[in-house]
Amino acid sequence: MKISIEEASKILYKGGVIAIPTETVYGLAADATNKKSIERIYEIKNRPADNPLICHFHSFDQAKPFLSIYPKYVESLVSQLTPGPVSFLLPLKTRSSLQAATRGSSHVIIRIPMHEMLLKLLKKITFPLAAPSANTSGRFSATTAEMVEADLGNKIDGVLDGGPSSIGLESTILDCRKSDEIKILRPGAIGKEDIEWCLRNENIKVIDSLSIEQTTPGSKYKHYSPATQVFQIQSIKDIPLIKNVAVLGFSEDLKTISLDENIKFISLGSQNNLPEVASLLYRKMFELDALKVTNAYLIKKDFGNSTIGKAISNRLEHMLSR
């Protein structure tokens, strides 16, 4: 059920759980300080109970009262990069009202999103919003209201439809716990170079750890996967001769191959337009699952070393079946 900002605010005050648009992916949101509502997020998503939730604020000023002492560079970094598609792992005050959202951790990930509709909602309410991506645990994130409705529509109290997410991949997560070092825990649209530029006058090391795996609780779980099994192939010649399969490729591939009618081709866009590939990626996974094919095959590609290229490679690696 689609709802207005006004309705969204009322539902949240009553402890409800709704889907919200962000520029990265849709979130499944509730009052971050309401324990019961937080538990409902876990139920709805079927999310492992030890996997903490990102908390969304309209400004860093709103977040500050929740934080304990953080490194000096944080203020400057946050002011240059937000509102925007980036999140910060920071120390939380003891006995914080956000501890249900952080699962008891003494650290919280904060995010100040730039989606206008969401910012309006955040300014209307007096609490931050805990919001993991709006998808059943393990699946790819939703980037349109329709995708949320299809996956979770009957379990939630409404969807605030803010159109397709413009970036299409989850926020970059920065570990800002150390005073002289920042670790990129999850690659996204904000990259190492952006951070280095913001901190060009300071002596802070930025580490591109390119995987959240060893570092955050959520990383041990499966991520970003469609229901259809996806296998990687080197070229179109490697598709096994079975019926009813799909190929995930790029518009450039279409020029060099001819497909027989048993094979459905899903174009992820042009390799020369990676921001577009990123913004469409999860929508294409949604299309793939709707095809109900036996298997899908992804033609291996090198996306290079650009920030968005690395973020795309990271998500594709996670969604492959092994």
CB of 57 to ligand TXA, least distance (A): 11
Nearer Cβ to ligand TXA, position 215 or 267?
215
CB of 62 to Mg ion, least distance (A): 23
- The answer to whether 165 contacts ligand TXA (rule: CB under 6 A) is no
Give me 73's structure tokens.
């560079």
Subset of residues 33 to 52 that bind ligand TXA, contact rule: CB under 6 A = 51-52
CA dist 196 and 59 (Å) reads 22
CA dist 167 and 189 (Å) reads 7
- The answer to whether 102 contacts ligand TXA (rule: CB under 6 A) is yes
Among 33, 96, 105, 228, binds ligand TXA (CB under 6 A): 105
Q: Spell 90-126 as b/e; 16+ CB within 10 A means b.
A: bbbeeebbbbbbbeebebbbbbbbbbebbbebbeeee
Nearer Cβ to Mg ion, position 73 or 224?
224
- The answer to whether 133 contacts Mg ion (rule: CB under 5 A) is yes
CB of 135 to Mg ion, least distance (A): 6
Among 109, 160, 198, 246, binds ligand TXA (CB under 6 A): 109
- The answer to whether 130 contacts ligand TXA (rule: CB under 6 A) is no
Nearer Cβ to Mg ion, position 134 or 293?
134
CA dist 273 and 270 (Å) reads 5
Nearer Cβ to ligand TXA, position 9 or 22?
22
Give me 194's structure tokens.
């952006």
Nearest to 164 by CA among 23, 273, 274: 23
* Among Mg ion, ligand TXA, none, partner that 312 touches (CB below 5 to 8 angstroms by kind): none
Backbone angles phi, psi at 107, to 5 degrees: -130, 150
Nearer Cβ to ligand TXA, position 83 or 309?
83
206-211, long-range: CB < 8 A, 24+ apart: 206/181, 206/182, 207/181, 207/182, 207/183, 208/184, 208/310, 209/183, 209/184, 209/185, 210/184, 210/310, 210/314, 211/185, 211/314
- The answer to whether 131 contacts ligand TXA (rule: CB under 6 A) is yes
Binding site for Mg ion (CB under 5 A): 133
Binding site for ligand TXA (CB under 6 A): 22, 24-25, 27, 51-54, 87, 89, 102, 105, 107-109, 111, 131-133, 170-171, 173, 212, 216-219
